[in-house]
Amino acid sequence: MIRRVLLFCLSFLLFLSTAHVFAEDSREGRALAAERYLNAVPISQLLEDTFREMSKSLPETIREGFVNQMRIVVRADLLEEATRASLIRHFTVDELNAMAEFYSSPHGASAIRKFGAYMADVMPAVQEEVILGLDRMERQVE
């Protein structure tokens, strides 16, 4: 009888010691980890870098005005909230913390500084291909 009680107590203590593993990936935990990620990768900085890269395709005399206008018309707060919600929805606490840790590192910080230039290079091709794909799909439906 004492063995059973002792075994039960040990099992219960083992359960309690591992319960945090299951509790860590809660919505609250994800929200905290998402904030950590957003501190490492501020949406406002990504947008600023993207605007600056986009402006390079314009005449130099209007680049700064373009960047200033983009800061006004693009709602960074809305994009940050959408990013936060999506991070919480799709990533675990461990994944968010790993991403935050990487982007807080020297290599990660260097990579994220290049992200605006990367997006400015890639987005025109993505947009063009999506438009062409929609055109092809529309022709197939007709």
Confidence of residue 38 (pLDDT cuts 50, 70, 90): very high
> Per-residue pLDDT tens for 82-133?
999 999 999 999 999 999 999 999 999 999 888 878 887 888 899 999 999 9
SS3 48: helix
The more confident residue out of 55 and 1 is: 55
> What percent of the chain clears pLDDT 90, i.e. is strictly above it?
65
Rounded Cα–Cα distance for residues 102 and 115 (Å): 14
Would you say the pTM of this structure is higher than 0.85? no
Give, to the nearest 10 degrees, the angle between helix 93-104 and helix 27-40. 10
- Per the prediction, the chain carries an average pLDDT of 86
Residue 80: what residue type?
E
The predicted structure's pLDDT at residue 71: 96
The predicted structure's pLDDT at residue 94: 97
> Per-residue pLDDT tens for 6-18?
445 445 555 554 4
Question: Would you state the torsion angle of the CA atoms of residues 88, 89, 90, 94, taken in this order, to the nearest 10 degrees?
Answer: 40
